[in-house]
Amino acid sequence: MYNFSLLLASEIQSDFLTTFLPILRYVLFGLIIASAIVLIITTLMQSNDTNSGLDAFTGGGQESYYAQNKGASRDGILKKITIAMACIAFICTILFFCSLLINAVPQS
């Protein structure tokens, strides 16, 4: 006697794997490319502060209003965008390779 619920479940699972996962991979790959491009652009737009390492050594740090509110400045915003895009690219890359592994599991 055949178990129709198992047959139906495997058919639904097979249909899900063959239709949804390729679309998910294209979306994830597009997000990886877009976040990588934004990551490159924001990294190049950030200012070059070469004295920050020497300030810690010599004790010449600034305690001005600008230094205290650096997170709201252009460089602070670009730094936050850079961190966010790196996280998005990392998570999407892991999900992309997990979707490849799911598809590689043999179906019984």
Radius of gyration, CA atoms only, the chain: 24
In a domain, 32, yes or no: yes
Query: In the prediction, which pLDDT does 92 show?
Result: 96
Q: Could you list the residue range(s) of the whole structural domain that residue 70 is in?
A: 23-45+60-108
Q: Answer yes or no: is 50 within a domain.
A: no
Question: Does the residue 79 lie in any domain?
Answer: yes
Query: Is residue 27 in some structural domain?
Result: yes
DSSP 2: -
Q: What is the pLDDT of residues 22-40, one digit of tens each?
A: 898 999 999 999 999 999 9
Structural domain contains residue 53: no
* 67 is a domain residue: yes
- Decide if 55 contacts 61 (C-beta within 8 A): yes
Is 55 within the bounds of a domain? no
Contact yes or no for 78/4 (Cβ under 8 A): no
Is residue 98 domain-resident?
yes
pLDDT, average across residues 84-90 = 96
Give how far the C-alpha of residue 65 lies from the chain's centroid of Cα atoms, to the nearest Å.
Answer: 33
Tell me the whole-structure pTM to 2 decimals.
0.66
